[in-house]
Amino acid sequence: MPRIVVDVMPKPEILDPQGKAIVGALPRLGFTAFSGVRQGKRFELTVDGEVTEEILEQARNAAATMLSNPVIEDVVNVEVLSEETDAPAGAAEVR
C-alpha cells in the first residue's frame, strides 16, 4: 500500500528547545560536525489503492489544518513513498 509522508517543522522564528537539547548532547557523544538542530514531526498516511491528485490534495489539506499548527509550524514536505522501496517517489508541492 502506498504511503504519503508529511514533514512538519517549527517556523524559523520559533524556539526549538528539543533541537537545542539535541545539539548540546551531540558533542558529548562524539558528533562534533553539527552546529544546529531543528526537530520536527513526520506523519505517514497509508492509502488503500492508487494515490491520485485528489488524495494528495486531501493530504495537503490535512497537513495544513490538522497535522500542523500553522501559528508555529510549517508543512515543509508532502510526498508519496513508492511501494517497492519505501523511497520517495517524488515530492509534491506544498502550499
pLDDT 10s digits, 59-89: 999 999 999 999 999 999 999 997 655 555 5
* pLDDT score of 40: 97
For residue 88, what pLDDT is reported? 56
In whole angstroms, how large is the CA radius of gyration of the chain? Answer: 16
pLDDT at 93 over 50: no
The CA-atom distances, in angstroms, between 36 and each of 20, 21, 25 are 8, 10, 11
Rounded to whole angstroms, the Cα distance separating 63 from 66 reads: 6
pLDDT tens for each residue of 26-55: 999 999 999 999 999 999 999 999 999 999
* Per-residue confidence band for 1, with pLDDT thresholds at 50, 70 and 90: confident
Q: If 0-12 CB within 10 Å is exposed, 13-18 middle and 19+ buried, where does residue 47 land?
A: middle
Distance separating alpha carbons of residues 26 and 32, to the nearest angstrom: 7
